[in-house]
Structure 1
Amino acid sequence: MNTNYNNQPAISVIIPTYNEEKRIEKTLISVRNQNCKIPYEIIVVDGQSSDNTVEISEQYAKTYISPMKGKVSQLNYATPKTEGNLILFLDADTLISPDFLNYIYELFKKDESLYACSARFKYYDGIALNVSLGSKNFTLTNYFFQNIFVHTWYFFKTLYGYPELSGSNIVVRRDIFQKVGGFKKPPNSLGIDKVFSDSILFLIKKMNKGKIKTLNFLSVLTSGRHLTVERSIKRISQYTNQKEIYSNLATKIYDQ
């Protein structure tokens, strides 16, 4: 780990929280235990939790309390307080591998046309299911088919030229984040990642350069606790019925 603040951080990791005392420590440990020599900083921005989230977070990271609740407000509040040219927005229930930051840093260093990316994700906290096929025994989770669907979804979206960032982990260049005006709040706060992806894609089209991508060979582990059929249907319905609102949010660009 290299969090030497005498050097400007190359990467700023920003984690929004709200009543995450059961999960935030694992996430912070995964971020602190990085096998990289590049300087990076860890910022937790809390949405006025009523549990011990802040107390736990302060043991591992700089911790701010946002004056406004909500993921969009918290992330936009914290970002100006960071210094890294690359920003990783990481959900409080998402774990990264020890080589994650180093891989990301090298990827952006080698490819200046890369504006933003996300690693594919796997749901990790499902119920274990033992399956036997002949003499072979396998342990699966109840998220097995959901994980296959997610990987297939992002693979084909990328293949057909419609890349989309994942809300669990988004890495973006600071200047690109500023140009699109940060995160926007969509109706009912669903689809934050979708609007942010579309904002950058609109900027790319406007500038006629740049790209975003899903990293199919790098993954993170994230909680499936919010994964419900009702939520998925609601999100799809919003995209279908409120396309104009989403489009207007995404195309609101600020040149800074």
Structure 2
Amino acid sequence: MAAGLARDFNAHLIGLGAEAVEAAYMADPYSSLMTAEWIVAAQDQVAARLKEAEETFRRDAAGVDLEWRAMQSFPNAALVEVSRAADLIVVGAVARGASNYRTANAAEVVMGSGRPVLVVPEAGRHLRAANIVIAWKDTREARRAVADAMPFLLRAENVVVQAVCTDDDGVESAAFQANDVVAALRRHGVAARPGVTTARDEDVVKELYRIAGLNEADLIVAGAYGHSRLAEWAFGGVTSDLLHRPEHFVLTSH
């Protein structure tokens, strides 16, 4: 999918393979030699998997201006580090609780990288982005996401700035905001129009998917709303669902 995107935008593609060696828990204090041998064997296994990943990447991205980087490191940290060389990070969606030794968590990456992150749903193979839904909320994160998505928005045929209100009292204000965003996008040449609907808190994501379906949109642009809680990030329900269980491509920023 990332290779197709690189072709569409004539972009440079960096493939990153990263996996950390899982810690060995040895109960016997005299087993240091066994532990050392285990670590060497585990490192060899990781290196072999990274080599296999490189071969797959080069095969699938053949013909693209590309490079490959590999690290024996936690994937989240590796992506954040390499993000300095990128305009956009492309990651696959992973369920909560997946091993952070071998998989990257889009939520962690978007909060730490300072770059927009494109989350690919499980069945995602090619992003057309002819029709796009912007999940509008009048926040810094949403404004950042719209700005970061501009290369996609300018190429789109139809962009819906969709505000989903959780009560009827906010409809008028949301409509004003959506129209404001639409006017700004149109000044940049984006074919945008507003949309405002209501839904219960727990149904906001379903409503966004419904709007995307009505507009045959395969991309949702949304801010990543979260805050640091000690050594982890805590996210609201909408952000969590969009990043961990996406039914469409999701471009998000923080």
TM-score by length of 1: 0.30
* Greater percentage in helix: 2
TM-score by length of 2: 0.30
Larger Rg belongs to:
2
